[in-house]
């Protein structure tokens, strides 16, 4: 099956990914790089958001301008997804943005995810941007999507920094209507379901809890 995923190929993304992968990158720089890559990802992922025409007065004349015309719901998967949240909210200061939270924990032995916290705003008819830095097996994301799609969003966009083919295939199969954008599609999962070459545990590196 051909993988349905959009890899955002930009020189600044490639440069930032090299630094994110580097085991010697300190947490404070790791957080800055995460925000930078997230910004570039989300700009591409939201390219087709709906706009409306509205007259705007310039210092010289009136022009018909294009303004965003969608309500966006941003849902980070805790805890690592929080590292992507600020970059998204900063991009959309002038439109209505709601924030939901999903807490998912992966069992290190079974690699199965379970939900320990869920708080979602109304999402019917809205565009949902689900953010999670790592898409490995796809288990956590599918848990999240199984709680989002029954609420009838207009569209669901998944923004990840690093993905594995196995996780992308799982999401494609179970939720083909979800659009996936990432900064890197890596080679494979290892025997412990960690992404290779990957960058280690994203949350630990983000918060310095290694």
SS3 106: strand
- In 3D, which of 119, 126, 125 has the Cα closest to residue 73? 126
- In 3D, which of 90, 68, 88 has the Cα closest to residue 76? 88
How crowded is residue 37: how many other Cβ atoms within 10 Å of its Cβ?
28
Which H or E run contains 115? strand 113-119
Compute CA 85 distance to the chain's CA centroid, rounded to the nearest angstrom: 9
27-45 helix and 11-21 helix, angle to the nearest 10 degrees: 150
Contact indicator for 159, 84 with CB cutoff of 8 Å: yes
- Bridge-partner residues for 102, per DSSP? 77, 118
Ordered DSSP codes for 56-75: EE-SS-EEEEEEE---EEEE
**Residues that are catalytic:** 106, 110, 201, 204
């Amino acid at each position: 099956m051909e993988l349905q995923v959009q890899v955002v190929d930009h020189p600044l993304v490639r440069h930032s990914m090299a630094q994110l992968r580097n085991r010697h990158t300190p947490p404070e720089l790791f957080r800055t790089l995460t925000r930078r890559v997230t910004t570039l990802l989300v700009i591409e992922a939201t390219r087709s958001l709906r706009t409306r025409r509205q007259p705007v007065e310039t210092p010289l004349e009136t022009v018909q301008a294009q303004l965003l015309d969608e309500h966006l719901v941003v849902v980070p998967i805790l805890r690592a997804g929080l590292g992507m949240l600020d970059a998204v909210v900063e991009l959309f200061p002038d439109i209505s943005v709601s924030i939901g939270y999903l807490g998912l924990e992966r069992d290190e032995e079974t690699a199965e995810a379970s939900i320990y916290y869920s708080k979602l705003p109304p999402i019917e008819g809205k565009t949902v941007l689900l953010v999670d830095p790592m898409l490995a097996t796809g288990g956590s994301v599918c848990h999240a999507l199984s709680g989002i799609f029954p609420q009838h969003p207009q569209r669901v966009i998944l923004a990840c920094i690093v993905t594995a083919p196995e996780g992308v295939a799982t999401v494609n199969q179970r939720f083909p209507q979800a659009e996936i954008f990432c900064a890197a599609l890596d080679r494979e999962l290892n025997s412990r379901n960690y992404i290779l070459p990957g960058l280690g545990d994203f949350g630990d590196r983000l918060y310095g809890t290694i």
